[in-house]
């Protein structure tokens, strides 16, 4: 019984927007494993994704354009100048706790910076890096 109940409770809390970064990373990991069996999230790949210069967008060539080289620091929107709270959950506890919000920003910012949507594997790597660092 307990084995059935716990996933239901977890899914319920995730739907209400009160997940943890670990839960989100786990969800993305499960998706990634379905696409590529044996996949394991990697903070190193996440860090590489975070700092890689894609140069698809002139003003936003990389994540770091707005979020700075250090994701635990506050950033700044490179076009509008608006202050951006740190992306790393260790510095800003609300980050990656709302699945819908997380999906929205991955979709929007991956399209902008990479020129395509990010894969589940990339998302899991990214969250792992931002949660635990290197």
Partner 1 sequence: MNPAKRSLLLLAALALPAWADRLPIPADAPPAFQTECGGCHLPFPPALLTAPDWKRVMGKLDKHYGDNASLDEKTRRELEDFLVRNASTRSRMAGEGDPPRLTASAWFRREHRKVPQALWRDARVNSASNCSACHSRAGQGSYRGREIALPELRDKH
Judged by the rule CB under 8 A, the positions of this chain that interact with partner 1 are 59, 76-77, 79-82, 101, 108, 111-112
Handedness of CA 30, 34, 39, 42 (dihedral sign): negative
Nearer to partner 1, 53 or 108 (CB): 108
Instruction: Give dist(CA 119, CA 35) in Å, integer.
Output: 10
Nearer to partner 1, 36 or 55 (CB): 55
Nearer to partner 1, 52 or 77 (CB): 77
Q: Classify residue 105 as exposed, middle or buried by CB count within 10 Å of its CB (0-12, 13-18, 19+).
A: middle
Give the nearest distance from C-beta 113 to partner 1 in angstroms: 11
Give the nearest distance from C-beta 73 to partner 1 in angstroms: 16
Give the nearest distance from C-beta 60 to partner 1 in angstroms: 8
The strand ranges marked E within the chain are 75-76, 83-84
């Amino acid at each position: 019984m307990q084995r059935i109940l716990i996933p239901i409770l977890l899914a319920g809390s995730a739907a209400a927007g009160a997940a943890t970064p670990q839960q989100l990373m786990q969800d993305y990991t499960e998706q990634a494993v379905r696409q590529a069996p044996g996949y394991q999230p990697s903070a190193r790949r996440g860090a590489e994704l975070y700092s890689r210069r894609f140069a698809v967008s002139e003003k936003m060539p990389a994540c770091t354009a707005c979020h700075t080289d250090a994701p635990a620091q506050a950033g700044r929107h490179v076009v509008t100048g608006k202050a951006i709270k740190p992306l790393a959950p260790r510095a800003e506890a609300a980050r990656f706790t709302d699945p819908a919000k997380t999906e929205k920003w991955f979709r929007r910012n991956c399209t902008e910076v990479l020129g395509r949507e990010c894969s589940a594997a990339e998302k899991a790597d990214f969250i792992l890096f931002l949660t635990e660092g290197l």
